[in-house]
């Protein structure tokens, strides 16, 4: 029986685990926190799919390619759109109760850059939670072995490829902290495997402002980089346009704008049309930049999201918002705002990493035995900018594809369709900024996660330029040169964030033209061609 280790418990990892189990594999699923604590759980808007007779795969493909700014892979996009409906119906069979109208038909949702309202949702704005809960129940029922509170340290790679994972696990699960002793000690654990699936999500904790939970520290990408696995497109970080300003970041779903909410400046003017004819429903990168520039023009004061006119009266609007967006409604009102009667302040925040580990259309990476699915992967479906509500769909479609493929791949040579091996690091790959811009370990600011997050927000945020990127590269290199050997999970996370940050910065420096979510202040958008990136050590 093929032994499979899946690292990560969001929609992509759970889909891969379920399909591999159904194919006869022995599956162990590893997650660094509790089983359901993933980015998937926090997804609000819904999942896109061609489920209605007046929609088409061609339309979904076209919308995805346009949003991707010319860099999405048409073959991958077609797989996503063509297989999406089947995966959504599978979720229904597993118990996901997508919202339906009085006739039992799925309620349609509209989101930015979609030409058709093809998004379906559950619990109004609780789609991710409904999906996560259903998949967790299914995984347990299917006999998937689960290791919670278990941290991925590294992939084990031999001449044959990936043969297992090295982990750290709390001796007491779940770990209970106390004021005197802190968490119980960590124990190393080695799991051999015939195949490993990385489904560890993105790296939102690189940034000072993010919609991602604390677990999103780039662990899978960092482990892949250390193992020499090919990665690409790390410069493409999506910033969600509308996150509540002030306090802990809380995402206000794009579906709110899809229902008719608008963005206004201090004077009450709808400024988004200055950036794009679709206004608030333009692609996310366009709207995020428009907001960031308006905030700067207003001296740092946030713009406002106005949902007060979604229904004829304030009372009717309040009832609609509470029914359609119960989670958001509760969060907004908990902060003291009556958003049926007053606009609420919003600002962009880091949301989704479009790049990652290179894969083929079945999740295979450049190293035999290793698969990657979900946000950790660069499948090619997002290009330079992810189309709204394609993320859950990508996890479901490509997680299932990887799970179905693992058993068939067992014992066979790694197919030619897999990505090419990563290029060996060269002297130029480790190039440093000019002497005047270099920062030594002694002169770098003290390393703390908050300092790295602020540096990345300032240098590689919604907009970038050569000077800021060079400075960030130098500071990160100094921090890495002075880093101690990781001992705790937090230490390992910090090391992973530093490594991924170095590669995000290198990728951004290697692309001088603006395209999609990668916007250079110092360059006009001249070409969507992918650059040749030699990497960093």
HSE of 262, CA atoms in CB hemisphere, 13 A: 13
Which of 212-232 are b and which e, b meaning 16 or more Cβ less than 10 Å from the residue's Cβ?
Answer: beebbbbbbbbbbbebebbbb
**How far apart (Å, rounded) are the C-alpha atoms in residues 339 and 320?**
11
The number of beta carbons lying within 10 Å of the beta carbon of residue 257 is 25
The number of beta carbons lying within 10 Å of the beta carbon of residue 104 is 6
Q: What is the largest CA-CA distance in the chain?
A: 69
- What secondary structure does DSSP assign to 128-141, as a single string? HHHHHHHHHHHHHH
CA distances from 253 to 42, 113, 326, 346 (A): 10, 14, 12, 11
For 47, the 3-state DSSP assignment is strand
Q: Are strands 303-306 and 262-264 parallel, antiparallel or unpaired?
A: antiparallel
Task: Kindly report the backbone phi and psi dihedral angles of residue 8, in degrees, each rounded to the nearest multiple of 5, phi listed first.
Answer: 125, 140
Check 21, 284, 378, 520 and give the catalytic one. Answer: 284
**How far apart (Å, rounded) are the C-alpha atoms in residues 33 and 210?**
19
Choose among 480, 484, 518: nearest CA to 499. 480
Q: Are strands 303-306 and 237-244 parallel, antiparallel or unpaired?
A: unpaired
The number of beta carbons lying within 10 Å of the beta carbon of residue 99 is 18
Q: Are strands 344-353 and 303-306 parallel, antiparallel or unpaired?
A: antiparallel
160 catalytic? Reply is no
**How far apart (Å, rounded) are the C-alpha atoms in residues 149 and 151?**
7
**How far apart (Å, rounded) are the C-alpha atoms in residues 489 and 492?**
5
Residues 480, 372, 57: CA angle, nearest 5 degrees: 130
Cis peptide before 165 (omega within 30 of 0): no
- What residues are annotated to the active site? 284
């Amino acid at each position: 029986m093929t032994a499979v280790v899946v690292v990560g418990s969001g929609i992509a990892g759970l889909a891969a685990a379920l399909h591999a189990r159904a194919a006869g594999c022995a599956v162990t699923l590893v997650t660094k926190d509790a089983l359901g604590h993933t980015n998937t759980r926090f997804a609000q808007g819904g999942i896109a799919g061609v489920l209605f007779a007046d929609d088409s795969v061609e339309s979904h493909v076209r919308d995805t390619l346009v949003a991707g700014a010319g860099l999405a892979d048409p073959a991958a996009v077609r797989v996503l759109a063509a297989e999406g409906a089947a995966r959504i119906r599978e979720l229904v069979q597993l118990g996901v109760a997508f919202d339906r109208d009085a006739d039992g038909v799925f309620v349609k949702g509209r989101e930015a850059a979609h030409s058709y309202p093809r998004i379906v949702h559950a619990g109004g704005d609780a789609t991710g939670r409904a999906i996560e809960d259903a998949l967790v129940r299914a995984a347990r029922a299917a006999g998937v072995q689960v290791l919670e509170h278990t941290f991925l340290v590294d992939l084990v790679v031999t001449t044959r490829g990936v043969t297992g994972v090295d982990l750290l696990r709390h001796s007491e699960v779940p770990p209970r902290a106390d004021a005197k002793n802190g968490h119980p000690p960590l124990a190393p654990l080695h799991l051999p495997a015939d195949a490993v699936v990385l489904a560890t999500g993105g790296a939102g904790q690189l940034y000072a402002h993010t919609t991602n939970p604390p677990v999103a520290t780039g662990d899978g990408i960092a482990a892949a980089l250390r193992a020499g696995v090919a990665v690409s497109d790390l410069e493409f970080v999506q910033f969600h346009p509308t996150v509540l300003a002030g306090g802990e970041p809380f995402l206000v779903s794009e579906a709110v704008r899809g229902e008719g909410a608008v963005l206004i400046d201090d004077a009450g003017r709808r400024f988004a049309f200055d950036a794009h004819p679709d206004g608030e429903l333009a692609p996310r990168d366009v709207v995020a930049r428009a907001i960031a520039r308006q905030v700067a023009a207003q001296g740092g004061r946030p713009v406002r999201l106005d949902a007060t006119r979604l229904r004829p009266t304030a009372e009717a609007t309040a009832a609609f918002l509470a029914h359609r967006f119960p989670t958001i409604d509760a969060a907004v009102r908990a902060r003291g705002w009556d958003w049926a009667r007053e606009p609420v302040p919003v600002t962009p925040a880091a949301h989704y990493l479009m790049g990652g580990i290179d894969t083929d259309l079945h999740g295979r990476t450049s190293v035999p035995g290793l698969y990657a699915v979900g946000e950790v992967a660069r499948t090619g479906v997002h290009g330079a900018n992810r189309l709204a509500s394609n993320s859950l769909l990508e996890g479901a479609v490509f997680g299932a594809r990887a799970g179905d493929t693992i058993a068939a791949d067992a014992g066979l040579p790694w197919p030619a369709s897999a990505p090419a091996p990563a290029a060996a690091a060269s002297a130029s790959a480790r190039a440093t900024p000019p002497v005047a811009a270099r920062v030594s370990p002694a002169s770098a600011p003290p390393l703390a996660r908050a300092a790295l997050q602020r540096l990345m927000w300032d240098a590689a945020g919604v907009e970038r330029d050569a000077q800021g990127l060079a400075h960030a590269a130098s500071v990160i290199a100094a921090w890495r040169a002075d880093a101690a050997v990781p001992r705790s999970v937090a230490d390992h996370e910090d090391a992973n964030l530093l490594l991924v940050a170095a590669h995000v910065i290198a990728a951004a420096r290697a692309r001088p033209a603006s395209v999609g979510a990668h916007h250079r202040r110092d360059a006009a958008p001249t070409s969507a061609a992918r650059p040749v990136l030699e990497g960093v050590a």
